[in-house]
Amino acid sequence: MSEQFTPRGRRDQQAIDHLLADSGLSGDAALRTELLELRSLAGTAPLPSDAVRALMVSSPAATERLAVTEQPSTAEGPSASSGAPTAVLATVAPEPQPGSAPVDELAARRRKKRRAAIAGLAVAVSMAGGATAAVASEGGLPGAFQHLGAAIGSVVSQLNPGSGSAPQPDAPAGTTPEQQVPAPDVPQQGPATVQPQPAPAAPVSPVAPEPQPQPGGEPSQRTPNAPSHQEPGNGVIPTPPVLPVTPPEIDPSTIDPSKLGPSGVPVPVPSQLVPSLPSRP
């Protein structure tokens, strides 16, 4: 029996003897036997699991180095040739798995965090863009184009020194064009910037009646607009009959502007846009 324990067993016996001597029980053979049996519980080492094996030395060179460092100890004395642990290492050596699993895990976690931040930013930007588009386009896509064109036109007119008017920058982009632009102005700006077709005439039509009473001082500006509304594309819109700047029986050319007095009707806002109108004819 004692030959089987040779290296490790002798070491265990020495440790048990030392323990018994410390406790004053050095001569107790029965207890010594029990303690040696208890000690034998540590003799079996379980094989490393896959996760543990992945963290152990994997390269053959490192295994050889470890084996070389353990060999001189076997030559020196019995304390080094503990068979079971070395056998465990031999089973571990051929596994080709890298030992950097925690590092990769950390990097993957950081990458995941960064990806989540970028995705959140993209979602926020897209939601803001969508909300802006929804606010700007109450009338659908053509309305959005018209609003865009009107906004660009207002910016351009603001940059031009001649057309600097106060209310334009104050009002929001969606409302200013409709308020300030009388019937003749919208076909002027809309086609110039965005669409050349009578599509912008649709929002113009409700606005058109407003300037009718007001531009009494400038009948010559209204006359060119009447033909434009009578184009075949605008036949659907019933606004032209409402529009008559001057009654049909009155010839605008015969009106003497000096005889015309103030009508007494309060003139709404569109009088501010008059500077842009003379340039048209």
Closer by beta carbon to another protein, 26 or else 263: 26
Q: Does 197 bind another protein (CB under 8 A)?
A: no
Question: Who contacts 273 (Cβ-Cβ below 8 Å, separation ≥6)?
Answer: 165, 180, 181, 182, 185
Q: Does 271 bind another protein (CB under 8 A)?
A: no
Q: Does 252 bind another protein (CB under 8 A)?
A: no
**In this structure, which amino acid lies at residue 189?**
Q
Alpha-carbon span 269 to 179, nearest angstrom: 7
Closer by beta carbon to another protein, 105 or else 138: 105
Closer by beta carbon to another protein, 73 or else 175: 73
Q: Does 255 bind another protein (CB under 8 A)?
A: no
Counting other chains too, the contacts that 145-151 makes at CB distance below 8 Å and 24 or more residues apart are 145/194, 145/195, 146/177, 146/190, 146/194, 146/195, 146/199, 146/200, 146/203, 147/173, 147/174, 147/177, 148/194, 149/189, 149/190, 149/193, 149/194, 149/195, 150/176, 150/177, 150/181, 150/189, 150/190, 151/177
Contacting residue, 5, 13, 19, 272, with another protein by CB under 8 A: 19
Nearest distance from residue 108's CB to another protein, in Å? 16
With b for 16 or more beta-carbon neighbours within 10 A and e for fewer, the 130-144 pattern comes to: eeeeeebbeeeebbb
Closer by beta carbon to another protein, 83 or else 281: 83
Q: Using CB under 8 A as the criterion, what x/- string covers residues 69-108 for binding another protein?
A: xx-xx--x--xx-x-xxx-xx--x------x--x------
Nearest distance from residue 98's CB to another protein, in Å? 10
Q: Using CB under 8 A as the criterion, what x/- string covers residues 21-50 for binding another protein?
A: -xxxx--x-xx-xxx-xxxxxxxxxx-xx-
Q: Does 20 bind another protein (CB under 8 A)?
A: yes
Is the Cα dihedral 177, 179, 181, 183 positive or negative? positive
List interacting residues with another protein (CB under 8 A). 11, 15-16, 19-20, 22-25, 28, 30-31, 33-35, 37-46, 48-49, 51-52, 55-58, 62, 66, 69-70, 72-73, 76, 79-80, 82, 84-86, 88-89, 92, 99, 102
